[in-house]
Each structure stands twice: as C-alpha cells, then as structure tokens.
Amino acid sequence: MLSTSDLLAHTLAETDFHPRLPQQRRLYEAAKAAIHKQQLGAGSKLPSSRDLARDLGISRNTVIAAFEQLAAEGYVHSELGSGTYVSDLQAHSASMRGVGSAPHSPRAAVPSSGGGMPLSHRGQALTSFAAGPRFEIQPFAPGDADFSSFPFKLWQRLQNRVWREARADLLDYGQSGGYLPLRQAITEYLRISRSVKVQVEQVMITSGTQQSLDLCAQLLADVGDTAWVEDPCYWGARRVFEARELKLHPITVDSDGMALEEADLATTPKLIYVTPSHQYPTGAVMSLTRRRELLDVAVRKDAWILEDDYDSEFRYTGRPLAALQGLDNDDRVLYMGTFSKVLYPGIKIGYLVVPPALINGFKSALYDLQRPGQLMVQAALADFIALGHFTTHIRKIRQTYGARRELLRRTLVHQLGSQLAQTVTISSEESGLHLVVELPDRVDDVALEKLAAESGIQVKALSTYYLAPPVRRGLLVGYAYCTPEKIAYYGRLLAAVIQSGVR
C-alpha cells in the first residue's frame, strides 16, 4: 500500500492533473481527490508539513497553505500536539441528514434529468424540448443571421472609447430602464422606420425578446390565465408562457395572419402573442383588416397584445411594414424587438415599448427581477446607431440576405424540376431570414428533417411548431448564415431529400 507521500506524488506526477494550477492548489486537489476516493480513509494521519515538503520536493509553505485550505473546508482536522487527520465525512453527512427530519424516513424518489440532477415537474417539462442543439448554427438553420459580417474593428473602437471615458455610472445595473442615449436612439429609429408611436420613457432595454416576453408574462398575467398564440407558433414564446404556467390557446394562421373564429372569441385571453409583420414560422403578413380586428378584440377582452417584431429590418422589396402598435389608439400593445438578428446573437440587447400606464411597473420590475446592467455595451451601441453605422450595416446585410434568398429559391426550383411544381410550394415573401418549402399533407416532414440532418443540413419541420394538430407540412430553410457556395451545394442536397420524400 502506498504511503501518503507516495500517493500524492503519484497523482501530482500525472501530466493531465490540473497542469495550469499553482502547486499549492494542485496539492490541495490531489489530497481532496484521495479523500473522496477513500484512498485516504477517515482518521488517517497525514505526514507533517516538513516531512511532506521534503518527500514531494516542494516548499513547506506550499504544503501548509494546502493543509489550511483542506482544514477550512472540513476535509482534515488538527489535534493539538498530535498532528493532522482526515475527517470522517460520511459521519458528518449522516448527522446532517438527521437534522430537522424524521429518523429512518426514506426520501421520495425524484425524477431526474438526463444529466442525473433532479428537476421539478416544471423543470422537466421545460427542458424536454432541448432547443439548444436543435438551433445551433448549421447550413439552412432558420432564424440565424450571418453575424460574421459584423464590423468587428469598428465595434471594438467604439467600445474602447467608452472604456477610456471611465464613467463609473456605466458600471452599475441601471435603474431607469436602460442607457438613456440608447433609448433615445431606439425611439427615433422606431418612429422613422416602424411607425411606432413612442416616447423615450416608454422604451425599456432588455436582454432580448425572451426577457421581454418573460416580463410581460410575469407582470400582465397570473398562473392559469389564457394566452392566445399563433398556430404554428415561435417555440421561444411558447416556452416562456409555459414556464409561467399560462394556458395556451392556439389560433390558426393563414395567409393573412392570425384568423380568429367563434370558438376563439368564446375564450378570454390575458395576453395575445403575434408576429404580424412576418409571422414565425409561416412568413404570413397580417392584413390591415385582421390588425384592426385584433385591436378591437383586445379592448373588448381587456387583453394585452404582445407584438414581436423580430426581423422587421429584413424586407427586401419596398419599405418595411408599419408596426401593429402604430395603429393602436387604446394603449393595448406592447412592442418588442431585438438587436440579436441584425448585429450578433451574443449582444443580448433588445427593447420593449410599453404603454404609458405600464412604465413605472415595468421599469421597477426590470430592475428588481433582472438587474440588467450591460451599460458599457449599451453605450457603444448608442454610438453605433447615432453615428449612422447601424443604418449602413442594415443596408449591407439586407442586400446580402436578399441575394442569398433569391439564390436559394432558384437552386431549389431548378433542382426540384417541373415534375414537383404542382406538389411543392416555396414561399415567395420577400422578407425574413428563412423561407418555407411547403409539402403535400401526406409527406412526413419530421422524417425529412432527420434525413436532411444526415446530410449535414439543419432544416426544421413546420409541423413541429403547431400546438394543435398540424394543418400544413413543410420545411423551414434558413439562408442568412450560408454563403452562396454553400447554398448551391446544400441546396442540391436538400432538393434530393425533398424529392425522395415527396415521391
């Protein structure tokens, strides 16, 4: 059996054992690991610091520092005049289990997640979707932007300038709904480009659409309240509302957007979630008639409309469509947008425009619940917009994405051929970051999604976005984060997948 010195020396000699840590921390980790593995059992006496330092060829101060850390965390204890001994961790754990609980009462089994950690029932439901792996950047993944075209050097200069100013107030959380110059820049931008009726006091800076939706769900609805959602529906909104235990009522989307029927009007929503300018995922644009109808219903039902304007910048012909909020004369619409699509996802900055009556409540909750911060980044973004770089960047990527969209359409049409023209429809909306390849009802779009994945293509089955039984089948195909060369190559592969499924 190895002596304590030999055991620790053997562990420390392993080249992959915490090679970057200081020696005292490596010794601490080696001893802790040996105790957990019971290679150093409870009651084992450790060598003196002088002897261990000599055996390991390290300084005595290093050994003393490691011993002190082990003692502070309860792994070892010293006995005056006797030495240092390994503590009985199992006995300590047993005594702690007895505190405040009935003796011999077995703990009820808790279902666990895939990682082995127990989750609540709500936690299990929320993590069952596992969106991360499904939506990583891959060819044709819908909703992803080509943030590699972001002007890195320019952005770095703007951030450096903010840091050189050394403003202490920008290191705080921020209590007023966000950095004022950024809120002013957003206010001006929304007035001009989206016809939003807004004063700067109404603009709250959030960490993105998900946080904006979560704030709305927490502040405007209670557990069990009904939320009307589009069907098919953006998965992120659905997850937020489910997390807040709202009852989701799906409303069918057609070519004119959300289509209310008598059965829908018989319910009473607290929230109404819509993407009217470019419905996600179908791409439908809500007609003016439907918009006015929805505003009237919100007043009658005393409901709040959550307008998610997630990709309004990406309209490739004509001016961007006016926001639904601009038609609202009764202050029932909360309007939200994000910079993640037009700049880069990791910037984590979005905005929420709330009606005047909600300003104080939302500003307070944003601070109390979220502690937003990021004021340094907000300041750089404010300069980015004020100096005209934002408009230039949008113009550039809009041209890029428009060309990629057209290339993808041409590639698919050419590869699919006239034989499938009567059965496969490719969406023609000149906006957004993805198009929809609509398939015959008999085709299993989920099976096609999996088949495409085998070729390295990350498309999404339209049917998986429905809450009610799906009424349409298709594939969502993103084109923004895909170079022309990749579009041509993967477009041919995708067409072959579609052909095999349809035939």
The residue written with tokens 């009985």 in the block is 88
Residues contacting 496, CB < 8 A, separation 6+: 415
Q: What is the pLDDT of residue 132?
A: 52
* Separation between Cα atoms, residue 419 and residue 229, nearest integer Å: 37
d(CA 50, CA 84): 13
Largest CA distance in the chain: 93
State how far the Cα of 283 lies from the Cα of 334, in Å rounded to an integer. Answer: 21
**Between the CA of residue 297 and those of 124, 133, 290, what are the distances in Å?**
35, 38, 10
Looking at the domain 394-502, which fold is it? Aspartate Aminotransferase, domain 1 (3.90.1150)
Asked if residues 220 and 233 have their Cβ atoms less than 8 Å apart, the reply is no
What one-letter code names the amino acid at 283?
G
| Alpha-carbon distances of 414 from 330, 408, 421, rounded to whole Å | 49, 10, 10
CATH topology of domain 4-94: Arc Repressor Mutant, subunit A (1.10.10)
Tell me what pLDDT residue 129 has: 63
Per-residue pLDDT, 290: 95
CA–CA distance, 290 with 256 (Å, rounded to integer): 7
- For residue 31, the one-letter residue type is A
Residues of the chain with CATH 1.10.10.10: 4-94
Backbone angles phi, psi at 103, to 5 degrees: -65, 140
| Amino acid 258: pLDDT | 96
CA 461 to the chain's CA centroid:
20
pTM metric for this prediction: 0.76
Among the listed residues 244, 212, 247, the one whose alpha carbon sits nearest the alpha carbon of residue 227: 247
Cα distance between residue 239 and residue 357, in whole Å: 27
Mean pLDDT (10-residue bins), the chain, 503 residues: 86 88 92 90 92 93 93 90 87 53 42 58 72 53 65 91 85 81 95 93 94 96 97 94 96 95 96 94 92 97 95 76 92 95 88 96 88 85 94 91 91 82 80 89 93 89 94 91 87 90 81
CATH class (in words) of the domain with range 149-392? alpha beta
DSSP run (H or E) holding 55: helix 49-56
**Location of each CATH 3.90.1150.10 domain in the chain:** 394-502
Residue of 433, 232, 436 lying closest to 341 (CA atoms): 433
d(CA 199, CA 186): 10
Residues of the chain within CATH 3.40.640.10 domain(s) are: 149-392
**Residue 315: its pLDDT value, please?**
81
| Omega before residue 281 within 30° of 0, cis | yes
Radius of gyration of the chain (CA): 29
